[in-house]
Structure 1
Amino acid sequence: MSAPSAYRGLSLWHETAGDPLVPRPALAGDVTCDVAIVGAGYTGMWTAYYLAQARPDLRIVVLEAETAGFGASGRNGGWCSALFPASFEKLAAMTSSAAAAAQHRAMRASVDEVIRVADAEGIDADLAKGGTLVLARTRPQLARARAEAAAATASGADDVTLLSAAEARSRLNATGVLGATYTPDCAALHPAKLARGLAATVERYGVTIHERTRVTAIRPHRAVTERGTVHADVVVRATEGYTAALPGLSRAVIPVYSLIVATEPLPSSVWDEIGLARRETFSDHRHLIVYGQRTADDRLVFGGRGAPYPFGSRIAPQHERNEKVFAKLRTTVVEMFPVLHGTRFTHAWGGPLGIARDWCASVGLDTGTGLGWAGGYVGDGVSTTNLAGRTLRDLVLGASSELTALPWVGHRSPDWEPEPLRWLGVNVGLSAMTLADGEEQLTGRPSLLARAVAPLLG
């Protein structure tokens, strides 16, 4: 990137953030601080925010290769949800049912905490807590919806409601709706406004952000950059989908691209037909994930997986634009909402999200080396990063708390397979999920293919 205009072209969100996106000064040589944070996305900003609030005396330096909110934090689908990438069953198997339930409660609370901070700090991120509708549009999808609601009840949660076809269509009038699940624990938002607002907020609290400062290595008590070394008691890695570029971490977290399209602002007559009156976020129970929201300026934003995983976990701008995937997304959303026929799609973009081998996000701090980390959110990071920031605050300050006792704290995911096995496995898995959805539409039965590749995809 060479100019603010290039940053504005990253996504609809960057273009409409109301921010000139002028880069902050780069690092100008070696410095010493208390806490160095690598990455100015949500994880880095939330960690800096809570540390600066708890200990105003701390010298905190954030290092960012591009500009705050450049990556997934500024480009995502705008869901602040209580979703955690590892299932309740997986977390319970790792520890206990009680610990898994505590993680779920913490995730639900994190949605409200994001809203609280945005309000308290005057960050206008177009937040609307309308919840999430996940439609069932085939018989196998309906079976999964019923199973999800039953599992939530069995775990003691009260946050998943099974809707009838009529109830679901009254809120989101898509084609072929047989039912849906609904949870209130999600807010639609403008991700770049939140990211940029958090960056400005932490600066007011005394945090220093150096942009255009690429970290080339993270070592005990040091973050090495092209412009100097930052020495710190604690160095926090908050790099998510960009983690594989760091030495020694090429197999820790892989980048998988998620792509998004957006319509022009739609008239009220179209929204009267579609629904989403409370700006609910939405998806359906297919295998290959899709997601959408109604923006504050009445656009429909719709995204999904399906872009190929790049060999060697390479991050490159060309992976952010896949015309075949963009076309599929536009076709899919028009098929779901025929009223969109003839609608102009004004924006298309994408970016990498981070996936750990066991699909379980983690946060932790090695007190011996001073190295902290958080990540592996699998696209569920808008609220999970907030929980990570509060947890890292407690870990850095040496405080035992309910947050530091959660099951994801200190979790170590196994490494991904070496290439070419990683490239083959991930891309076969992505293709299989697409085929599995087609299989279910044809047979009306749960996909055997999806069951076969499930272990590969965590």
Structure 2
Amino acid sequence: MPRISAAARTPVNGRVSHWFTELPAPRAPLPGDRDADVCIIGAGYTGLWTAYYLKQADPSLRIAVLEARFAGYGASGRNGGWLSGLAPGDRNRLARRYGRESVLAWQRALNEAVDEVIAVADREGIDCGAVKGGTLQIARTRAQAARLAAEVAEERAWQVEGITELSKDEVRQRIAIDGVLAGYHTPHCARIQPARLVRGLADAVERLGVDIHEDTPAVEIGPGRVRTPAGTVRAPVVLRATEGFTARLPGLRRRWLPMNSSMIVTEPIGPRLWASIGWQGRETLGDTAHGFFYAQRTVDDRIAIGGRSVPYRFGSRVDRDGAVPERTIARLTAVLRTILPQTRDVAIAHAWCGVLAVPRDWQATVSFHPATGLGEAGGYVGHGVTAANLAGRTLADLVLGRRTPLTGLRWVGHRSRDWEPEPLRWLGVRGLYLAYRAADRHEATGRAATSPIARLADRITGKP
């Protein structure tokens, strides 16, 4: 059994993730009925970036942000810390519908958004631990190596610059990963401490004059108003930025599926062990398995690693403050020990989970309807840290009625169909991930091509 501290098994002092080393004093809830020019539901990356760019463009705007718990409580404070240009959707599917050039523009905008976030953090004095070391993607089986080569070709086809293919020895010169066969590196990613970014962003928008009301859940959203237990906010513009918690809102249960992802983090690792591991470039690290992992070397010299364990809860339920079952901790610990056996004696300090939003066609969206004043952004399928910045800037332009290159990007106005009712939703997602685990076991036998089990699962669920 892995060494697991007591803190790893349960949420620590309401922190919901390791990234919250401490929680600041809570902001006051909505004091009662009020008026605003813009009301934003959700104080995560999307809501806060939208407020930031709106207020920068028009300081006279009265903006109220409503948050059910506290700023960063959701995926913005629980994610893997990949500030990455990864596209939150299927580029090939979008290209077939809208044309290749429009998708190329979207990909360029995502890559540029990585630098935009870092620039704003520097300007606003947000110490989010950003190191733009890129991403190291690896393969540990022959089938994974085939998919990795296809990924390289795909990225180059979408004109993602700076891709470097790596032999197993070149991978191990960066990080001493056990059993690696091949890899590639892309420069379009920075390692960050995600809670520092979201909390710093919240402070920055408050300095601009935005009101953030924490402990204020929205219970009803409509044109011109948002009702909460504490009162009603009346505003001609109402923007929803609720991501994985969208299913909790009336009428939106099947809009986006709340997919669960879990993480663990080790105790701090000393210099001698780091010398045997490497990881001096602070690259984010992932693989091409179907049951993939994602990892980083943290600001405080730990290893944080995540993946899917309990991917979906029946009825679109969400976790309770990030608590995870012990079997999830054991599974992620086994992944860490397998790829980096040097860590076998390093204890696991903390574990947590959170939900991300997955539309039925796995395609994120930004939309605003001037006639009703209602807008939304999200559905980032796990690639939201950077995409939320681009979405926030885009949503701000849409609200202000500005025609810009961002408002012409093809995720604007995209609408996916709703997910199936239960129990089909639960059966489909559970079946998908059981199939992926079976496919990984199948490929571990040495086959050179992707398992037909995974191909069938992708086809049935529509996953890109």
Q: TM-score, normalised by structure 1?
A: 0.96
Give the direction of change, closer, same or farther, for the CA distance of 1:255–1:320 in structure 2 (3 Å limit): farther
Larger mean CA deviation between 208-217 and 301-310 belongs to 301-310
User: Does residue 192 of the first structure (1) align with residue 184 of the second (2)?
Assistant: no
User: Does residue 12 of the first structure (1) align with residue 15 of the second (2)?
Assistant: no
- 1:28 pairs with 8, 23, 31, which one? 31
- Deviations for 1:175-194, whole angstroms, at most 9, x for unmatched residues? 11111121101011111111
- 2:124 pairs with 107, 112, 121, which one? 121
Counterpart in 1 of 2:458?
454
Within a 5 Å distance, the mapping from 1:280-429 to structure 2 comes to 280-317=283-320, 320-429=323-432
Number of residue pairs matched? 451
Counterpart in 2 of 1:205?
208
- 2:161 pairs with 158, 173, 183, which one? 158
Counterpart in 1 of 2:101?
98
Q: Structure 1 residue 6: deviation in Å? A: 6.5
Larger mean CA deviation between 186-195 and 308-317 belongs to 308-317
SS across alignment from 2:38: strand
Give the direction of change, closer, same or farther, for the CA distance of 1:278–1:333 in structure 2 (3 Å limit): same
Structure 2 distance, partners of 1:164, 1:290, is 20
Counterpart in 1 of 2:4?
none
Structure 2 distance, partners of 1:101, 1:428, is 33
Structure 2 distance, partners of 1:30, 1:7, is 32
- Deviations for 1:211-237, whole angstroms, at most 9, x for unmatched residues? 000100111121111111111111010
- 2:176 pairs with 173, 195, 199, which one? 173
Within a 5 Å distance, the mapping from 1:225-236 to structure 2 comes to 225-236=228-239
User: Does residue 135 of the first structure (1) align with residue 144 of the second (2)?
Assistant: no
Within a 5 Å distance, the mapping from 1:255-274 to structure 2 comes to 255-274=258-277
Give the direction of change, closer, same or farther, for the CA distance of 1:278–1:56 in structure 2 (3 Å limit): same
Q: Structure 1 residue 367: deviation in Å? A: 1.0
Does the CA-based 8 Å contact 2:142-2:446 persist in structure 1?
Answer: no
Does the CA-based 8 Å contact 1:312-1:419 persist in structure 2?
Answer: yes
The letter of the residue matching 2:455 is R
User: Does residue 63 of the first structure (1) align with residue 69 of the second (2)?
Assistant: no
Give the direction of change, closer, same or farther, for the CA distance of 1:318–1:115 in structure 2 (3 Å limit): closer
User: Does residue 40 of the first structure (1) align with residue 40 of the second (2)?
Assistant: no
Structure 2 distance, partners of 1:332, 1:92, is 35
- Deviations for 1:200-257, whole angstroms, at most 9, x for unmatched residues? 1000000000000010011112111111111111101000000001011110111111
Does the CA-based 8 Å contact 1:7-1:21 persist in structure 2?
Answer: no
Structure 2 distance, partners of 1:73, 1:7, is 18
Unaligned runs of 5+ in 2: 1-10
**What is the percentage of aligned positions where both structures have the same residue?**
50
- Deviations for 1:85-140, whole angstroms, at most 9, x for unmatched residues? 21321221121110110010000001000100000000001111100001011111
- 2:114 pairs with 111, 116, 126, which one? 111
Structure 2 distance, partners of 1:260, 1:81, is 18
SS across alignment from 2:19: helix
Does the CA-based 8 Å contact 1:10-1:349 persist in structure 2?
Answer: yes
Does the CA-based 8 Å contact 2:45-2:385 persist in structure 1?
Answer: yes
Unaligned runs of 5+ in 1: none
Structure 1 distance, partners of 2:83, 2:412, is 21
- 1:276 pairs with 267, 276, 279, which one? 279
Structure 1 distance, partners of 2:239, 2:371, is 13
The letter of the residue matching 2:151 is E
SS across alignment from 1:442: coil
SS across alignment from 2:37: strand
User: Does residue 221 of the first structure (1) align with residue 230 of the second (2)?
Assistant: no
Does the CA-based 8 Å contact 2:262-2:351 persist in structure 1?
Answer: yes
- Deviations for 1:266-289, whole angstroms, at most 9, x for unmatched residues? 012222222211110001110112
The letter of the residue matching 1:30 is D
Q: TM-score, normalised by structure 2?
A: 0.95
Structure 2 distance, partners of 1:128, 1:7, is 29
Q: Structure 1 residue 457: deviation in Å? A: 4.8
Counterpart in 2 of 1:76?
79
Q: Structure 1 residue 310: deviation in Å? A: 0.8
